[in-house]
Amino acid sequence: MIMSKSFSGHTKVGRNILHNIEQRLIQRYSRWIPLWLETYHLTLMTIIWSVGTIGFGYLARSSWHWLWGTAVMIILQYLTDLFDGAIGRQRNTGLVKWGYYMDHFLDYIFLCALLIGYAFVIPNKFFNMYFFILAILGAFMVNSYLAFAASNRFRIAFFGIGPTEVRLIFLVVNVLLIIFGKTYLAWTLPGILIISTLGLIVTVYSTQQELWLLDMREKSKLPNKNNNES
């Protein structure tokens, strides 16, 4: 009888650069979350932040200053995402499998909402490049989920870069858009595309190498068929 491995989607492998700071934030401020606000409420709030992000992007067509609202949405999504799992563990009210599914699916929805919001203000000549950036960023998520399915180890931080650092990059890009408008897109978008593509190549290579080694270790434990037949 083959025993299935226990689900470990609620535990993460690898640490991002800001991990220690985040843990201090959780320890210090999680008790401030009111008791009526449950972990699944925090998770589902990403829907609100996603709608707000698209709305502020649409309004930014008339004034770039509406993108300050987008910055607020990024910060709020980060905070609810940071505390939802912690609240579930502290109160023992977490929904592990539901939380894994909804948390990461809504993370992808929020990423799409960000890119849709910016699409309202980015000139048409950058749209092809913009599409490739969406594809590359989505591929990072696909890589994490496929690797988890293969290894039962959920890694969302690679080489110290995780969702928190990605949100920080979006915040910086957002502020630069407000300050400089479209003038800096001609060199920043190609740079983002090149760096993210190289990062994806390195990440995929590292992931497949790790899975290869796991396969080889399992293979070495199997009895030699030729020896058994002799």
For residue range 79-94, list pLDDT tens digits in order: 998 888 778 777 777 6
Tell me the mean pLDDT in the region 32-42: 83
How far is the CA of 86 from the CAs of 94, 190, 222, in angstroms?
A: 9, 37, 40
User: Structural domain boundaries of the chain?
Assistant: 28-221
Report the candidate in 158, 43, 174, 162 with the shortest Cα–Cα distance to residue 110: 43
Q: Which two tokens stand for residue 88?
A: 């579930």
Q: Which fold has domain 28-221?
A: Four Helix Bundle (Hemerythrin (Met), subunit A) (1.20.120)
Q: Is the Cα torsion angle 83, 173, 134, 62 positive or negative in sign?
A: positive
Asked whether the beta carbons of 143 and 209 are under 8 A apart, the reply is no
Instruction: Name the nearest CA neighbour of 103 among 47, 169, 155.
Output: 47
d(CA 120, CA 118): 5
Give the tens place of pLDDT for each residue, 166-221. Answer: 888 888 888 888 887 776 666 677 888 888 899 899 989 988 998 898 888 888 87
Question: How many angstroms separate the CA atoms of 173 and 68, rounded?
Answer: 12
